[in-house]
A and B are shown apart, each in its own frame.
Chain A
Amino acid sequence: MFIIKAIEFIGTVFKDPIEETGRILLLFYSTIKWLFRPPFELKNTTKQMVEIGINSLPVVLITAVFTGMVLALQSYTGFKRFGAESLVGSVVALSMTRELGPVLTALIVTGRAGAAMAAELGTMRVTEQIEALETLATNPVKYLVVPRFISGTIMLPCLAVIADIIGIIGGYFVTVIVFGTSPNLYMKMTWDHLEMNDIYHGLIKAGVFGAILSLISCYKGFYTKGGAEGVGKATTGAVVISSMAILISDYFLSAWLFK
């Protein structure tokens, strides 16, 4: 009896997440299916590329430069205790390329573009615009989700590269200008311990995060129910679930890529 009760309880706790995961996978499946079917939605895709890539640039830049700066600041003052200040360049470069560049970019794009996707598609759902697309013989997954998915997957690595570089420059600024380390040492330490694979793998992660956040945000918007309140919930849900999915998948991707 107790076991049945316990299973029932576990069932009620996990029913929604499991159901939702299933529906996200279904949307993923139809996104992939429509991805390769011409005609391609060039206009929508370009618009989303600009929205996700170009328009996110200012926030990504500011975040990256300060992240690089604080990394340098913390590691410089910390490492000084055991005389390892010279390693700051390596710490900043490795942390930015392998981890913080991709992850912070993804989290910021989620907050900006992911929220916007969920709100826009959610509004289109509750005002019947998605149904109107269907009556005009236009598949809404192809017209709305695929362009966002492509743009997210392509633009995230681009943004992450920029974040990597800007972060390293931020670290340079603090180490060299504020603490007076020699510029040559910083750059040498940056390059000596950084492998091309660190950068590539970081960018692969960024691409996966882009796919995850655009898919989840579109999913939340696409299946919005219940008016303005529903749109609000979809938007919050998109940001929360995407962020969690990014951080969780980050662990597994890192474990797999950086063996």
Chain B
Amino acid sequence: MNTLINIEDVHKSFGSNYVLRGANLKIIKGESVVILGGSGSGKSVLLKHIIGLLMPDKGTVTVAGSDLSKLDENDLNELRKKFGMLFQAAALFDSMSVWENVGFGLKRHTKFSDKEIKEIAVEKLRHVGLTGIEDRMPSDLSGGMRKRVGLARAIAMEPEILLYDEPTTGLDPIMADAINDLIIEMREKLKITSVAITHDIKSAYKIADRIAMLYNGEIIETGSPDNIRNTLNPIVKQFVEGSAVGPIVIEGLKR
């Protein structure tokens, strides 16, 4: 099997906040993995480790055979050109127009002219269901629109690996489903490896080849959507069934 991303015993804390406590996850080339987990459980932190935005305190993250913490700046940048990332809050550059945001990577790493970049940007925006907004500024967009511009920016360079931090949160159900279809299409047509975080169990079942559950700083279970649906693990079961009653305790909430 062809492991592309290998997260091995990753520990990470911020001050006294011990977030990841030995997370392990192998991701195979071409597969689509969805990470589930409660709010604040460290999903975004885990995703940022995959692209080297955060480095583990202990443990290793290996992408395409290279240990991220051992790469120098240039090699890390080269590796990052293989990635596209959608941030949870989109993280659009607010000093640039929408098309400049989408074309940012193209502008910096290719020789395309501005006119060509804008054409590509418009095309990518159309993919995520946005037309006629390329000249607007990000601050003039709704939350869901910003998310989709962020998605267009992530796919603009046609990366090999896509990281999605909650791609459908904040979208209406029809748009959310269209984005799910887009994610599936990217995987099937372009053979992209993807890691997505979502709270939306329905979309997880739809887009995932494999689902991994992050709990207490560890990946406590991975399996196909069917396996997860019929899991025996009470924590995973409670999560996918969306019940407040079960082994997962929400601190401060009485019941």
Q: Which residues of A contact B (CB under 8 A)?
A: 120, 123-124, 127-129, 131-139
Given A135-B51, A135-B85, A137-B78: A129 and B94 interface contact (C-beta under 8 Å): yes
In the bound complex, residues from chain B placing their C-beta under 8 Å from that of A124 are 93
**Mask for B60-80, Cβ within 8 A of A = 1, else 0?**
000000000000010001101
B104 at the interface (CB under 8 A from A): yes
In the bound complex, residues from chain B placing their C-beta under 8 Å from that of A132 are 85, 87, 91-93
In the complex, which range does the number of interface residues on chain B fall in? 20 to 34
In the bound complex, residues from chain B placing their C-beta under 8 Å from that of A137 are 77-78, 80-81, 105, 108-109
Q: Is the interface of B mostly helix, strand, loop or mixed?
A: mixed
Q: Is the interface of A mostly helix, strand, loop or mixed?
A: helix
A129 and B93: CB pair below 8 A? yes
Supply 7 A–B pairs (Cβ within 8 Å), ascending by A.
Answer: A129-B93, A134-B53, A135-B83, A135-B85, A136-B153, A137-B105, A137-B109
Q: Which residues of B contact A (CB under 8 A)?
A: 48, 51, 53, 73, 77-78, 80-81, 83-85, 87-89, 91-95, 104-105, 108-109, 153
- Output the nearest chain A residue to B44 by Cβ-Cβ distance: A128
B48 and A131: CB pair below 8 A? yes
- Output the nearest chain A residue to B82 by Cβ-Cβ distance: A137
Q: How far is the CA of A190 from the CA of B77 in the complex (A)?
A: 56
Beyond A128-B91, A132-B92, A137-B108, 9 additional pairs, beta carbon < 8 A: A124-B93, A127-B94, A128-B87, A135-B80, A136-B80, A137-B77, A137-B78, A137-B80, A138-B77
B108 and A135: CB pair below 8 A? no
In the bound complex, residues from chain B placing their C-beta under 8 Å from that of A120 are 95
In the bound complex, residues from chain A placing their C-beta under 8 Å from that of B105 are 136-137
Q: How far is the CA of A120 from the CA of B96 in the complex (A)?
A: 13
In the bound complex, residues from chain A placing their C-beta under 8 Å from that of B73 are 139
Q: How far is the CA of A127 from the CA of B90 in the complex (A)?
A: 9
- Output the nearest chain A residue to B87 by Cβ-Cβ distance: A128
Given A128-B87, A132-B93: A138 and B48 interface contact (C-beta under 8 Å): no
Measured CB to CB, the closest approach of chain A to B88, in angstroms, equals 8
Given A136-B105, A137-B108, A138-B108: A131 and B78 interface contact (C-beta under 8 Å): no
Q: How far is the CA of A132 from the CA of B51 in the complex (A)?
A: 11
In the bound complex, residues from chain A placing their C-beta under 8 Å from that of B92 are 129, 132
In the bound complex, residues from chain A placing their C-beta under 8 Å from that of B95 are 120
Nearest 3 Cβ contacts at the A-B interface: A128-B91, A132-B91, A135-B85
- Output the nearest chain B residue to A138 by Cβ-Cβ distance: B108
A131 and B53: CB pair below 8 A? yes
- Output the nearest chain B residue to A41 by Cβ-Cβ distance: B108
In the bound complex, residues from chain B placing their C-beta under 8 Å from that of A123 are 94
In the bound complex, residues from chain B placing their C-beta under 8 Å from that of A138 are 77, 104, 108
In the bound complex, residues from chain B placing their C-beta under 8 Å from that of A135 are 51, 53, 80, 83-85
- Output the nearest chain B residue to A123 by Cβ-Cβ distance: B94
Measured CB to CB, the closest approach of chain B to A231, in angstroms, equals 13
Measured CB to CB, the closest approach of chain A to B240, in angstroms, equals 29
- Output the nearest chain B residue to A127 by Cβ-Cβ distance: B91
With a 10 A CB-CB cut-off, give which of B53, B78, B109 has the most chain A CB atoms.
Answer: B53
A136 and B104: CB pair below 8 A? yes
Q: How far is the CA of A202 from the CA of B253 in the complex (A)?
A: 65
